[in-house]
């Protein structure tokens, strides 16, 4: 692991943004995975993603116009359909024939699921249907078209590796997430012991009971349990389930490039009454995520000197698994063999 830069995994689906961020007939230019990506929604509602570089003279297509069917470059007006194929070159005169169907800006597979736009970043030209991850992961309990009740995003000035290590770090909360409403008794640490098991492209903190005396969980009913899954390329899926209701929290980390990361926090809830509390919940989620964001900014001051870092037992065991999963993903791809999950079931213990 390089301190400031991460190797970016390909052959996987990444969260690009919530569906609600792109209305029909609109487009949004972003840098994802170090590549210029133009995400759009056609007039018929379907989403698409193009490589955001005009093949004529290289200007990003985001500076042009979208009429709901074709994207027009702002420089010489070439038009591209939502699959990236050139359909018009305004400068061609009557006696000239250019086969525009041979010209493309390039496209990515894009899919909407759970109210999010996912983009597939292929390994050397493979198509997603015969790619290594055939589809984005489905969230438990909620229909594939259920949108998140709330979604926030903060850009982190760190590589996806340090964003991931922070995300799965069970022992920083008492020091980083201190406020009157969470962990009032910060630094009074208690022993924790949780069983873990391998799961699809990652591992799970096995479903266990949450403290019944906690009022926040009571709204979900009795016997409230949770399972937390971590999966490549950077997803944390928490599924809290009670006798009456359930909540799914998704944290996604998507590389902007090898040194910058978009961290999103989203949740789905089966309770209909969440709406009036949204501003408060959004505020608390943002405060919480910003604490993580600020600590990686401070961490960067030290990482510049490229110190040798440590991952200790058992607090950082999940961080180790993360690095092992990434290694195995790269290695199995290079060796053209199936991915073998390196995580073995075991119980981890720590103080937090």
Contact residues for Fe ion (CB under 5 A)?
292
The set of residues, in sequence order, having a beta carbon less than 8 Å from that of 211 and lying 6+ positions away, is: 217
Name the binder of 250 from ligand FES, Fe ion, none, CB < 5-8 A by kind. none
In whole angstroms, the minimum distance from the beta carbon of 101 to Fe ion comes to: 50
* Contact footprint for ligand FES (CB under 6 A): 54, 56-57, 59, 73, 75-76, 78
Burial bucket for residue 274 (CB in 10 Å: 0-12, 13-18, 19+): middle
In whole angstroms, the minimum distance from the beta carbon of 299 to Fe ion comes to: 12
Token pair of 88, please?
């018009």
In whole angstroms, the minimum distance from the beta carbon of 141 to ligand FES comes to: 46
Residue whose CB is less far from Fe ion, 85 or 178: 178
Name the binder of 86 from ligand FES, Fe ion, none, CB < 5-8 A by kind. none
Secondary structure of the chain in HEC code, one letter for each residue: CCCCCCCCCCCEEEEEEEHHHCCCCCEEEEEECCEEEEEEECCCCCEEEEECCCCCCCCCHHHCEECCCEEECCCCCCEEECCCEEEECCCCCCCCCCCHHHCECCEEEEEEECCEEEEEECCCCCCHHHCCCCCCCCCCCCCCCCCCCEEEEEEECCCHHHHHHHHCCCCCHHHHCCECCECCCCCCCCEEEEEEEEECCEEEEEEEECCCCCHHHHCCCCCCEEEEEEECCCEEEEEEECCCCEEEEEEEEEEEECCEEEEEEEEEECCHHHHHHHHHHHHHHHHHHHHHHHHHHHHHHHHCCCCCCCCCCCCCHHHHHHHHHHHHHHHHHHCCCCCCCCCCCEEEEEEC
Residue whose CB is less far from Fe ion, 262 or 292: 292
Residue whose CB is less far from ligand FES, 47 or 73: 73
Closest CA to 75 of 96, 95, 90: 90
In whole angstroms, the minimum distance from the beta carbon of 318 to ligand FES comes to: 46
In whole angstroms, the minimum distance from the beta carbon of 61 to ligand FES comes to: 7
Name the binder of 56 from Fe ion, ligand FES, none, CB < 5-8 A by kind. ligand FES
Whole-number Å distance between alpha carbons of 348 and 20 = 39
Token pair of 128, please?
């997603």
Residue whose CB is less far from ligand FES, 76 or 278: 76
Residue whose CB is less far from ligand FES, 57 or 209: 57
Name the binder of 87 from Fe ion, ligand FES, none, CB < 5-8 A by kind. none
In whole angstroms, the minimum distance from the beta carbon of 17 to ligand FES comes to: 25
Residue nearest to Fe ion (CB): 292
In whole angstroms, the minimum distance from the beta carbon of 47 to ligand FES comes to: 23
Name the binder of 6 from ligand FES, Fe ion, none, CB < 5-8 A by kind. none
Residue whose CB is less far from Fe ion, 167 or 269: 167
Residue whose CB is less far from ligand FES, 102 or 188: 102
Residue whose CB is less far from Fe ion, 111 or 172: 172
Name the binder of 292 from Fe ion, ligand FES, none, CB < 5-8 A by kind. Fe ion
In whole angstroms, the minimum distance from the beta carbon of 292 to Fe ion comes to: 4
In whole angstroms, the minimum distance from the beta carbon of 328 to ligand FES comes to: 41
Residue whose CB is less far from ligand FES, 56 or 282: 56
Name the binder of 78 from Fe ion, ligand FES, none, CB < 5-8 A by kind. ligand FES
Whole-number Å distance between alpha carbons of 302 and 312 = 19
């Amino acid at each position: 692991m390089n301190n400031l830069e991460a190797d970016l995994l390909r052959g996987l689906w990444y969260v690009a943004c919530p569906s609600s961020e792109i209305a029909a007939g609109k487009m949004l230019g972003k840098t994802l995975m170090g590549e210029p990506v133009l995400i759009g929604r056609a007039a018929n509602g379907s989403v698409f993603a193009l490589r955001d570089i005009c093949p004529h003279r290289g200007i990003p297509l985001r500076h042009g116009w979208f009429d709901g069917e074709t994207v027009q470059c702002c420089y010489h007006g070439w038009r591209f359909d939502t699959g990236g194929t050139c359909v018009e070159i305004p400068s061609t005169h009557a006696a000239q024939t250019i086969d525009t169907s041979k010209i493309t800006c390039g496209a990515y597979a894009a899919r909407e699921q759970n109210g999010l736009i996912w983009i597939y970043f292929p390994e050397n030209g493979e198509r997603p249907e015969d790619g290594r991850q055939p589809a984005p992961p489905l969230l438990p309990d909620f229909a594939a078209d259920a949108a998140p009740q709330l979604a926030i995003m903060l850009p982190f000035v760190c590589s996806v590796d340090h964003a991931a290590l922070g995300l799965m770090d069970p022992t920083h909360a008492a020091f980083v997430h201190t406020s009157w409403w969470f962990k009032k008794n910060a630094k009074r640490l208690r022993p924790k012991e949780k069983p873990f098991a391998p799961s699809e492209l990652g591992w799970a903190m096995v479903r266990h009971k949450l403290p019944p005396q906690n009022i926040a969980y009571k709204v979900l009913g009795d016997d409230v349990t949770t399972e937390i899954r971590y999966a490549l390329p950077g997803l944390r899926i928490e599924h809290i389930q009670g006798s009456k209701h359930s909540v799914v929290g998704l944290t996604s980390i998507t590389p902007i490039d090898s040194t910058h990361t978009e961290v999103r926090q989203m949740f789905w809830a089966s309770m209909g009454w969440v709406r009036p509390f949204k501003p408060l919940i959004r505020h608390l989620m943002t405060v919480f995520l910003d604490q993580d964001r600020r600590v990686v900014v401070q961490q960067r001051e030290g990482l510049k000197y490229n110190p040798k870092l440590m991952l200790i037992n058992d607090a950082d065991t999940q961080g180790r698994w993360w690095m092992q999963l990434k290694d195995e993903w790269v290695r199995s791809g290079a060796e053209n063999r199936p991915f073998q999950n390196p995580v073995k079931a075991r119980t981890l213990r720590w103080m937090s």
